[in-house]
Amino acid sequence: MAEARPAPEETPTLPTDDPPLSDVLSAYRTMVVARVMDERCLTLQRQGRIGFYVPMQGQEAAQVACGWALNDEDWIFPAYREMGIALTRGVPVQLLINQFYGNSGDETKGRQMPNHYGFRRFRFVTASSPVGTQISHAVGAAMAARAHKDPIVTVSFFGDGTTSSNDFHAGLNFAGVFQAPTIFFCQNNQWAISLPREKQTRSATLAEKALAYGFPGVVVDGMDFRAVYRAVAEARARAISGGGPTLIEAQVYRLGPHSTSDDPRRYRSDAELAEWKEKDPVARLKHELRASEALTEENDQAIWDAAKQEVARAVEAAEKLPPVDPLTLFDDVYATRTPALERQRGELARELAAGGSTP
């Protein structure tokens, strides 16, 4: 089972220590669950059992390490590839699988595309397809938290392609001017769908773009769990102490397609993919844990077996749940349904009871 990390203690100083091995082992388990889910969901889409999926293979360490360095009270503003951070926040596998299926167990009631999940109680804002929109939202939420004297940060996730969007520049400029306690977490996975990193910008790094807005930009090896953890922990400590935002560029690689609507073989070489697979973050952390004798091959196999069983059970349960009740169409529009909505809901209920169908 994916394990949510404990909330670190508040500290005004910049943390320099790595998390203890027991925490890293727990994080590794979460990375394994993310990898197993990722592979299974891609298969489910190819089988026609779910409609759409956005893989995140290769980005597990960046996301899980980031989540591990945060506090439970911090708010997450994801893009659409952040399953690893969702698991780290404690979102159950079953809830994620239900959302991919859009069944009656989907807490968004079938109103969002697959992979566009959100969970208020986990402080995980619903994702949106347009790139960059979450950046300004994260900055606004951070400013609101500061006004309420809430000692939290907001974290906005996005990819390398988003750094060319209007929202990126507007959001970072505002954050820099007002010293918003926001962490901008760019997962530079080298491809904005089919556009390579070298055609995205002439900047030597994406992180250096932060300098134009008056705050630090940090480049980190996103395949290295500990390196990402340290970068996020330091950025969070700066923000909490009033030091303002940080842009973190986690250099990772998208080992799979951009989405299940994409064929990466049309624009990238097998040689490039093979080179990056040698840096697989899950295998890398396993090797480090084995070298430190915190993990044995037997224990590792048990972790993988448990993850596969958990995901298999979630898929089986999801496929037994009925579709979303059509009457939920009238939920959540207003805090209290208006008389007009009540009438419309009653009409639909009577039609359904009489054997009618919805479009």
Q: Which pLDDT score is estimated for 9?
A: 42
- The pLDDT score that the predictor gives to residue 190 is 96
C-alpha–C-alpha distance, residues 174 and 209, integer Å: 14
Residue 14 lies in a domain: no
* Tokens read off for 58: 């290769």
Q: Is the pTM of this model over 0.85?
A: yes
- Which helix (H) or strand (E) is 239 found in, with range? helix 225-240
Q: Are residues 234 and 246 in the same domain?
A: yes
> For residue 2, is it within any domain?
no
Residues 277 and 339 in one domain: no
| Number of compact structural domains in the chain | 2
Rg of the chain on CA atoms, in Å:
21
169 within some domain: yes
Please report the pLDDT score of residue 356 as a whole number.
65
What amino acid positions are annotated as catalytic residues? 254, 258, 267
Same domain, 354 and 235: no
Residue 67 makes CB contacts below 8 A (sequence gap 6+) with 5, 76, 84, 85, 88, 89
Q: What gap in Å lies between CA 308 and CA 313, rounded to an integer?
A: 9
Listing DSSP states for 58-76 in one string gives T-HHHHHHHHHTS-TTSEE
Strands (E), the chain: 75-77, 154-159, 182-188, 191-192, 195-196, 217-221, 246-251
9 in any annotated domain: no
Q: Are residues 243 and 354 in the same domain?
A: no
Residue 358: per-residue pLDDT = 55
Q: What pLDDT, on the 0 to 100 scale, is given for residue 18?
A: 78
pLDDT of 178: 98
Position 14 scores a pLDDT of: 45
Summary count for the chain: helices (H), strands (E)? 11, 7
Domain of 335 in residue numbering reads as 325-359
- pLDDT at residue number 333: 87
Question: Is-contact 208 187, C-beta < 8 A?
Answer: no
Identify which of 129, 157, 131 has the alpha carbon closest to the alpha carbon of residue 261.
Answer: 129
> What pLDDT shows up at residue 73?
97
Whether 1 is in a domain gets the answer no
**191-192 and 75-77: which strand pairing?**
unpaired
Judgement on whether residues 90 and 124 belong to the same structural domain of the protein? yes
Q: Is residue 358 part of a domain?
A: yes
**Residue ranges, the chain, pLDDT below 50:** 6-15
Bridge partner list, 75: 154
